[in-house]
Amino acid sequence: MFKKLRITLGIVVLLLAGYGLLTKNFVAQPIMMLSLSAFILVGGLDELKQGKKRRGYISIFLSIFVLVIVVQTFIM
């Protein structure tokens, strides 16, 4: 389940990032950042499932950090 979700989120992030770079239109950047946060969170949960606690917790922390940045962007 995690593998399919990671692939889907990875494709979404790459497509939105590519769209922003090619068109110089960064309207979709907050959505890309939310997708990136979800991608990192799923990766962290997968690492925890595999027993790699340190990498899992670091990934979850980074996911929360990116989410906080996105929320600050929405507020401003």
The predicted pLDDT at position 17 comes to: 92
What's CA 4's distance to the chain center, in Å? Answer: 15
Burial class from Cβ neighbours inside 10 Å (0-12, 13-18, 19+) for residue 68 reads exposed
Q: Tens of pLDDT along 18-66?
A: 999 999 888 888 889 999 999 999 999 999 999 999 999 999 999 999 9
Site of tokens 């962290």: 44
The predicted pLDDT at position 25 comes to: 86
Site of tokens 């497509």: 15
Report residue 69 as tokens: 């940045």
